[in-house]
Structure 1
Amino acid sequence: MAVPKRRTSRWRRNQRRAQAFFAKLKSFNMVKCPNCGEFAMPHRACPYCGYYRDKQVLEV
């Protein structure tokens, strides 16, 4: 079984975590809401008009 030979420093651990966090931030894509035309995250209700899949699900 693989075991680390040396303890991972706080700096190295944080650098690894930061890389994953920023990669995740860049991967967000935005789509235009078909109802109002504003940009919103896919598979979520539009925060501007409250519609999701042609139904109003949020009071805005």
Structure 2
Amino acid sequence: MTGRENIYMNGTIMGMRRWEITRKLDEIVEFAGVAKYLDTPTKRYSSGMTVRLASPSPPI
């Protein structure tokens, strides 16, 4: 799962509609500071990046 996919998944879990997530995507990416790595699989993220994105820990 990429960072972008993770944002959509977490937004959906939080009850946001897809258009809402799309509208706020730039703001979310800016806040998390992961713009350069947005399409990189989250399992390659550092622990700090994972926390900022609020994604589940990658499987070991």
Query: TM-score range, shorter-chain basis?
Result: under 0.3
More helix by share: 2
Q: Which has the higher contact order (CA 8 A, sep 6+)?
A: 2
More strand by share: 1
> Rg bigger for which structure?
1
TM-score, structure 2 normalization: 0.21
